[in-house]
Amino acid sequence: MLGKGQDKAKRIEMLARLARFRDFSDDEIHRVVEEATYLTVPEGWALMVEKTPADKAYLILEGEVSVRQKGEEVAVVGAGELIGEMALVNHKLRNATVVAQTPLEVLHFTDETVARLTEQVPHFQEALTGASQERSGQ
């Protein structure tokens, strides 16, 4: 896990390596890291629960999560994946529960943060909708 001294530079480096962010300029990556909240999440923690309102999304930097629908695991996703963005983008209730399978390092985005980043960083909206479309098979 990251310590306070290495936080921002390390997160910028991690984000820059992710395929979903390859078209982002250095300034755009810095903006995303500045706006997001870095969190560490313990194994077994539920980041979001099925059938609840969408008010946040996460970008997984390290670790894996179990995605469950009606109690059944439907996917395991890890570093580089956005989770929770579908309900934010589509303004719907959560369609899955997401539980940390390992300790996680994530960037947390509130709905307000997503709105700001969408306005300030055009590629951010593309990253969100791209992740949502990939997952829904569009």
For residue 131, the model assigns a pLDDT of 59
The larger pLDDT score, comparing residue 60 to residue 23, is at 60
List all residues 6 or more positions away from 57 whose beta carbon is below 8 Å from its beta carbon. 82, 83, 84, 85, 88, 108, 109, 114, 128
The larger pLDDT score, comparing residue 70 to residue 126, is at 70
pTM: 0.84
Give residue 22's pLDDT band: very low, low, confident or very high (50, 70, 90): confident
Give residue 15's pLDDT band: very low, low, confident or very high (50, 70, 90): confident
Does position 109 have pLDDT exceeding 90, yes or no?
A: yes
Q: Residue 63, Cα to own-chain centre: how many angstroms?
A: 12
The larger pLDDT score, comparing residue 138 to residue 62, is at 62
The answer to whether the beta carbons of residues 65 and 29 sit under 8 Å apart is no
Instruction: Round to whole Å and give the CA distance between 51 and 68.
Output: 12
**Whether CATH 3.10.110.10 fits 4-136:** no
- Mean pLDDT (the chain) is 86
Please state the rounded mean pLDDT for residues 83-99.
Answer: 88
Question: Of the candidates 114, 105, 62, 122, which has an alpha carbon nearest to the alpha carbon of residue 84?
Answer: 114
Give residue 130's pLDDT band: very low, low, confident or very high (50, 70, 90): low
Question: Of the candidates 76, 46, 50, 48, which has an alpha carbon nearest to the alpha carbon of residue 63?
Answer: 76
Does position 6 have pLDDT exceeding 60, yes or no?
A: no
Please state the rounded mean pLDDT for residues 78-100.
Answer: 88
Number of residues that make up the chain: 138
List the chain domain ranges: 4-136
